[in-house]
Structure formats: C-alpha cells, structure tokens
Amino acid sequence: MKEIGTIFKEKRETIGISKSEICSDLEINEAQLQNLEDGNANAFKDIFFLKELILKYAKYLNLDEEYILNEFNDFIFNFTSKIPVAEIEERVRELQEEENNQKKIVSPYTKPITKKNRKRIVLIYMVSILLVIILFLLVVITIKIGLN
C-alpha cells in the first residue's frame, strides 16, 4: 500500500496539483488524501470505499488503473493471508453459535411440522369430525321428532 501512496504522491507533485484542489474534485477530505498518499490503509474502515477511492484517484491522475488495482489486490491478499486459519475458524464458530442462540421468528404457516405438532393436528381434526357427526345426528333426530 505504501507503493501505491508513493506513486500517487509523486504523480500529484509532478503534475503540480494542490491537495486542496484534489480534495475538492474527488469530494474527499484532506485527512483521507493524506492517508491515501501515506499508504495508510488502516485509516479507512471500509475496504470497498478504499478500493473505490484508489481507482478514482488513479483515474484522476491518469495512472494505469489496472496496475494500481493489481498492486492493491496484492496488498489485500498479503494482508489477509497473514490471518491464521484457526482464528478464522474460531470466528466462524462464534458466528454460528450466535445465530443458533438467537430466537428465530417463525410464522405458524411456515413452521415445520414436528411429531408433537402432527399429533395435535390429528387430534384437532378427529375432534372436529366427531363434533360435525354429532351435530349432524342432532339435526337429523330433531327433524324426525318434528315430523312425527
């Protein structure tokens, strides 16, 4: 990242553009420009913003964007490849545990049917059918009694 910053700074100085003019044209503040030219990637919270800013600045200075992008990608690869695999696996486990511990909101219409739920559903249907039969018999008996 230092190399990219050096390229930017040297090109800007060669052209003779002031920092304030660049900040105005690229709509960034001086601290961002300074960190970019110093190669201080840690000053940027969002790596995607940094990448966009690097490409924007390279285009502004009429530099080879593909070369600059390759340098940036090499920097990112070297930086991320230093993270131990065990650390990554541990973080993945933590995220999975957090996900499992969160109470999930489930619609009663899309909730999976368990054995316990299936028994309840069958019981409700059986009772409903029994009630319909009893009601039907009461109606039939009432009609017969009324006809006699």
Contact indicator for 44, 13 with CB cutoff of 8 Å: no
* % residues pLDDT > 90 (the chain): 20
Residue-range definition of the domain harbouring residue 145 = 112-148
Show the tokens assigned to 112: 């999976």
Q: What is the CATH number of the domain that holds 40?
A: 1.10.260.40
Element (H, E) at 145: helix 115-147
- Residue 84's SS3 state is coil
pLDDT higher for 85 or 74? 74
Same domain (yes/no): 120, 62: no
Asked if residue 70 and residue 135 are part of one domain, the reply reads no
Tell whether 96 is covered by a domain.
Answer: no
Do residue 75 and residue 131 come from a single domain? no
Q: Which of 31, 56, 80 is the last residue of a domain?
A: 80
- 82: pLDDT confidence band, cut at 50, 70 and 90? low
CB-based contact 73:50 (threshold 8 Å): no
- 7 and 60 in a single domain? The answer is yes
Q: What is the mean pLDDT of the chain?
A: 85
The whole-angstrom separation of Cα 36 and Cα 5 is 6
Q: How many domains are contained in the chain?
A: 2
- The answer to whether residues 58 and 126 belong to one domain is no
pLDDT on residue 44:
83
Count of alpha carbons within 13 Å of 89, Cβ hemisphere only?
Answer: 3
